[in-house]
Amino acid sequence: MPAMMATAPALTTEILAIAETLRTACPSAVPVAFWDFDGTLIEGDCSEGLSREDGSGFPGLAEVAVARGFSKRFQGPHGRAAFAQETAGVLRAEGHAAANAFIAQAFAGARESDLLDLARRCFANVLGGWMFPGALALWHALEAAGVRCWVISASADFFVKGAAEILQTSQDRLQGIRLRVEVDGRLGPEVVPPLTYGYGKHARMVELLGAMAEREPGRSFWPVAALGNSPATDGPLLEAVAQTRLPAGAPLGVIINPAPDLKFSSFLKPAVFPGRPRALVA
């Protein structure tokens, strides 16, 4: 581990100190932490899966959902192959943001409740074992100390919400790429803006902070930390939080498990969340 890498216990101490400084200066203030999901709370990608060099890993929820018939567009014995091929084509032609939207839109026509149930079961049986232990410990420590934790993910909303029970939180705290929901509970093809990728994550944070302030007008809500693993996907959110001027104290933007050659803003603090050994995961 590089000498300058922060650990989950060190981040816990630092973020809680920021929160206490904020609340001392402004007793009505509520500290908030925003998290990416894939590569930050979980090793790999909940939508696309994980394939380790040692042969361990898990299939992504998108592949599982297609295989179980939840996509009206990608059906039959060749459905998974066609889905993977078209997703790769969108990625090459239009980039990661469009590809992430395409993955969510592949399930237009399915009932949102059915996909949520699938995601919950997959997290309970498989994906929960791939959550970073340090990330879970940090999440729970912050929540216990009154720091409200939210996820803003570039995975589909109906996938990331499946982790709510493991995180011991409500589904509304986990936000991903949202599709319009029809009156009959089925998903429409339209993405509800903002698309939670890059600057869209920052825009969603602003919306969430505003919604909290509307619900609790006697309190103020301040981002004290943001954690993510990708400068492209998460960078605008992390930098926006790191440069927020709090009533007291300075917030943290944290980049998780960065590669040695990864370029990221000097505003960000690198940290390491080790994954689980293969033997501990079924």
| Res. 19: pLDDT tops 90 | yes
pLDDT at 193: 98
pLDDT bracket for residue 124 (50, 70, 90): very high
- Across 57-71, 94-108, 164-178, 262-276, least confident range: 262-276
| Res. 281: pLDDT tops 80 | no
Residue 24 forms part of a structural domain: yes
Residue 45 forms part of a structural domain: yes
| Res. 3: pLDDT tops 70 | no
Domain that holds residue 220: 8-280
pLDDT at 2: 46
Of the chain, the end-to-end C-alpha distance in Å amounts to 26
| Tens digit of each residue's pLDDT (9 = 90 or more) over 224-259 | 999 999 999 999 999 999 999 999 999 999 999 998
Residue 271 forms part of a structural domain: yes
Residue 222 forms part of a structural domain: yes
pLDDT bracket for residue 66 (50, 70, 90): very high
With H, G, I as helix, E, B as strand and everything else as coil, classify residue 7: coil
Residue 44 forms part of a structural domain: yes
Give the chain's domain count. Answer: 1
pLDDT at 79: 95
Structural contact between residues 14 and 271, judged by C-beta atoms closer than 8 angstroms: no
Residue 3 forms part of a structural domain: no
**CATH, residue 123:** 3.40.50.1000
| Res. 38: pLDDT tops 70 | yes
Residue 1 forms part of a structural domain: no
